[in-house]
Amino acid sequence: MQYLALNTVSAFVWSYQPKAETALQKVIDQRHSPVTSYLQERQMTCGVSVPIHLPKGGFASLTGLRTGNGKHVLKDAEQTLTDFSVISHAVQAAAYPLFGPEIRAYPHIRLTRRERECLRWAAEGLTAKEIAEQLHRSLATVTLHLTSAMHKLGAKNRVQAVLRATHYRLLDS
Q: Specify whether the CB–CB gap between 124 and 81 falls below 8 A.
A: no
Q: Using CA atoms, how far apart are residues 140 and 147, in angstroms rounded to an integer? A: 10
Rounded to 5 degrees, φ, ψ at 60 are -145, 165
pLDDT band at 57 (very low <50, low <70, confident <90, very high): low
pTM (two decimals)? 0.59
- Per-residue pLDDT reduced to its tens digit, 112-146: 999 999 999 999 999 999 999 999 999 999 999 99
Last residue of a domain, one of 101, 120, 152: 101
Beta bridge partners of 62: 50
Last residue of a domain, one of 67, 101, 135: 101
Question: What CATH number should be reported for the domain holding residue 152?
Answer: 1.10.10.10
Residue spans of alpha helices (H) in 65-168: 71-95, 101-104, 113-123, 128-135, 139-153, 158-167
- Per-residue pLDDT reduced to its tens digit, 20-49: 888 888 888 889 889 888 988 898 888 999
pLDDT on residue 69: 77
Question: What CATH number should be reported for the domain holding residue 45?
Answer: 3.30.450.80
Last residue of a domain, one of 84, 101, 118: 101
21 and 62 belong to one structural domain: yes
What integer best gives the mean pLDDT of the chain?
84
b/e 2-20 (16+ beta carbons within 10 angstroms → b)? eebbeeebebbbbbbbeeb
Q: Which of 95, 104, 78 is nearest to 11 (CA)?
A: 78
Whether 18 is in a domain gets the answer yes
pLDDT on residue 138: 96
Please tell me the total count of domains within the chain: 2
Instruction: Provide the domain limits for residue 125.
Output: 106-167
- Per-residue pLDDT reduced to its tens digit, 66-77: 888 777 888 888
92 and 114 belong to one structural domain: no
19 and 79 belong to one structural domain: yes
Helix (H) or strand (E) holding 137: none
SS (H, E, C) 39-90: HHHCCECEEEEEEEECHHHCEEEEEEEECECCHHHHHHHHHHHHHHHHHHHH
- Exposed / middle / buried, residue 76 (Cβ in 10 Å: 0-12, 13-18, 19+): middle
Which distant-in-sequence residues (6+ apart) come within 8 Å of 45 by Cβ? 15, 16, 17, 20, 39, 66, 67, 68, 69, 73, 74
